Amino acid sequence: MAGVEQATKIECSACAKVILCGEHAVVYGRPAIALPLPTLRAHARIEPDRRAFTIVAPDVGVTVSPWRHSRLTRNPLARAALAALELVGQQPPRATLTVTSDIPVGANLGSGAAVSVAIARAIAAYFNRALPPEEASRLAYEVEQLHHGSPSGIDNTVIAYEQPVWFARGKPLELLDAKLVAGLPLVIADTGIATPTRIPVGDVRAAWERDRERIEGYFDAIASLTHVAREALERGDLEQLGRAMNANHALLQQLGVSCPELDALCDAARSAGALGAKMSGGGRGGNMIALVRDATHAEVLREALLHAGAKRVFA
């Protein structure tokens, strides 16, 4: 049943994400582990207005009038809003929806999916409609196809559920026990290079089509490391997890999706004592993650990564 429109403003948000192990191979049916980053969020605020429904994204200087677009528009903000309105069975309200985000765009932290989920949550709440995580995830996946072409589905899943996930495309979702990663000492560094995920994903696809046996071998090796990483999490073995992360990065280098800047940050992290370091996400820029020993070590690593060229560091 359709909800009743709110008379006051509604504010909702959605978290960022990071892939611990398994990127790229996850597109080809192998498992990956992804973690939510609750302290980095996209925000959506919707409030009544006299004018027709408008989305304002001041961070990027964009204003969108979704009612002027078709349901299948390629504008991601309008697409998310229209999909959410369709989901709750409503027409565009006389309201303004303002979107802001703490999540760096193009850093492989799930900015696009987080914005879509935040928009969907805000519109649903505006009409007094609950939005289950599976519905938010499906909606965000639709918009992710505009950003990435053929996404694995991992970003929208971990962001919509805001829980660590063991994700394998086409298989039932497995939410991991949050206790496994509670307090996991990770430091995240952004190269400042924004490369659309569809570019490295497309290059891996082209390599796979040229030499499937070789590329499938890399995917199988990454899958094995992802299983090792899960076992290490379950045992609380940070040393083993770090080794799996290092080996995962080496395989992603072989796939050609790293870059000198990511490699330099990983090297700097290991030189500063990180237990493991790897690129995370699509690659050719974006972010890397490092596993540290504790909060004091995280601060040492933060300084080392900034010195090595990181534009931003999150701990």
User: Would you state the pLDDT for residue 233?
Assistant: 94
Query: If pLDDT is split at 50, 70 and 90, which confidence band does 169 have?
Result: confident
Kindly report, residue by residue over 125-140, the tens digit of the pLDDT.
999 999 999 999 999 9
Is residue 39 located within the same domain as residue 108? yes
User: Would you state the pLDDT for residue 4?
Assistant: 73
Q: What is the CATH number of the domain that holds 303?
A: 3.30.70.890
User: Would you state the pLDDT for residue 182?
Assistant: 85
Domain around 116: 10-175
Is residue 119 located within the same domain as residue 229? no
Mean pLDDT across 33-42: 95
**pLDDT tops 70 at residue 110:** yes
Query: What percentage of the chain exceeds 70 in pLDDT?
Result: 98
Alpha-carbon distance of 155 to 55, in angstroms, equals 23
- Residues with catalytic annotation? 155
Is residue 171 located within the same domain as residue 187? no
Is residue 139 located within the same domain as residue 240? no
CA torsion angle 126 127 128 130 (round to 10): -90
**pLDDT tops 60 at residue 90:** yes
Is residue 82 located within the same domain as residue 125? yes
Is residue 36 located within the same domain as residue 144? yes
Mean pLDDT across 273-292: 96
Is residue 35 located within the same domain as residue 168? yes
Mean pLDDT across 104-120: 93
User: Would you state the pLDDT for residue 3?
Assistant: 65
**pLDDT tops 90 at residue 95:** yes
Kindly report, residue by residue over 257-279, the tens digit of the pLDDT.
999 999 999 999 999 999 999 99
**pLDDT tops 60 at residue 170:** yes
Does residue 207 form part of some domain? Answer: yes
Mean pLDDT of the chain: 94
In the chain, the number of structural domains is: 2
Is residue 235 located within the same domain as residue 149? no
End of a domain among 147, 175, 203? 175
Mean pLDDT across 156-166: 95
End of a domain among 175, 210, 226? 175
Q: Of residues 146 and 110, which shows the higher confidence score?
A: 110
Does residue 2 form part of some domain? Answer: no
User: Would you state the pLDDT for residue 1?
Assistant: 45
Mean pLDDT across 29-56: 95
Is residue 154 located within the same domain as residue 188? no
Does residue 4 form part of some domain? Answer: no
Query: If pLDDT is split at 50, 70 and 90, which confidence band does 281 have?
Result: very high
Is residue 134 located within the same domain as residue 283? no
**pLDDT tops 80 at residue 142:** yes
Is residue 92 located within the same domain as residue 168? yes
Query: What percentage of the chain exceeds 90 in pLDDT?
Result: 83
Alpha-carbon distance of 169 to 29, in angstroms, equals 5
Is residue 94 located within the same domain as residue 124? yes
Does residue 5 form part of some domain? Answer: no
Mean pLDDT across 205-232: 97
Query: If pLDDT is split at 50, 70 and 90, which confidence band does 7 have?
Result: low
Does residue 50 form part of some domain? Answer: yes
Does residue 189 form part of some domain? Answer: yes
Query: If pLDDT is split at 50, 70 and 90, which confidence band does 146 have?
Result: confident
User: Would you state the pLDDT for residue 2?
Assistant: 54
Separation of CA 121 from chain center: 17
